[in-house]
Amino acid sequence: MPIFLTAAVMMALAVFSALGAQPATTRGTLHGVVTDPSGAAVPGASVIVSAGQKAQTVSTDESGAYTVAGLAPGHYRVLVHSAGFSQFERSGLVLSAGYETEADAQLAVSTLKQEITVSAGE
């Protein structure tokens, strides 16, 4: 009888080991922090995470952080917009099932060029 018990325990351990090697989920998470050139957080920045035709938009919190969870595995692009800053873009991010991918963004100050023309009335 002990041989049967030993075999059953070993079989159970093999099954649990195989299950433990599987990712806990079929989805992944993309997260990061958006900062300005000095390294200060940029709260309220718009972050667009896209893959093909699918896109999700989130905003950064007070510490400049954002998280997009529940994403299907694949290749992603991140666009970040915030008033007073140039658009940031990062592509080629690879997201795997059950894993987190980090995509921080440092925004550059936008240099707007304005032209004003004044003409005298006739």
Residue 2: what pLDDT? 57
Residue 11: what pLDDT? 54
Set out the domains of the chain in order of their start, with CATH numbers.
25-106 (2.60.40.1120)
Phi-psi region of 74 (alpha: psi -120 to 50; beta: other; left: phi over 0): left
pLDDT of 3 > 80? The answer is no
Instruction: With 0.85 as the threshold, say if the pTM is over it.
Output: no
